[in-house]
Amino acid sequence: MTVLALDLSLTATGHCSSDGAIGTIIPKTKGTARIVFIVDEVLDEVHRSKPKLIIMEDIPFGGRNNAAGPLAMLHGALRYMLHDRGCPFVTVPPASLKKYATGKGNATKPDMRMALFQRHGLDLRDDNQVDAWWLMHMALDHLGEPIIVLPKTHRDALAKVEWE
């Protein structure tokens, strides 16, 4: 089963597919054109990989993140397009993604990268790709096709996701 994972960002959207594709979408525009570019690129990846499930990190609300409004616009546009095309998708709270990867819901970006290296021997330098990789593995684990085995304390994060 093919899964497509997305770490949506206005500056560098990470994506990872269970068919082996991994990359980052980097827009060169601003405003609405940037959102359209990212959505179009994601839809191209959806068309290419034909996933049975799309999983993405949810919007991180709170803290000092001033980009939550524009990021919400990106999420809304993409969710509409996926829904309109009948593509099943789920969102994962950021703390649940971190707990799944590291066992701690407040893990840092370096913690996520180190967990990937320790568990799988993969050293990705792009934290957007790291998050997408972990999201993909969450989905595969949920679907009963885990590639890596994690402790129950990590896997408890799966219960925080509203799998549709």
Per-residue confidence in pLDDT tens, the chain, 164 aa: 899 999 999 999 999 999 999 999 999 999 999 999 999 999 999 999 999 999 999 998 765 555 578 899 999 999 999 999 999 999 999 999 999 999 999 999 999 999 999 999 999 999 999 999 999 999 999 999 999 999 999 999 999 999 97
| Burial (CB count <10 Å: 0-12, 13-18, 19+), residue 162 | exposed
19-34 burial, b at 16+ Cβ within 10 Å, e below that, comes to eeebbbbebeeeeeeb
The amino acid sitting at 56 is: M
Domain ranges in the chain?
3-160
**Fold entry, domain 3-160:** Nucleotidyltransferase; domain 5 (3.30.420)
Tokens of 84: 């309109």
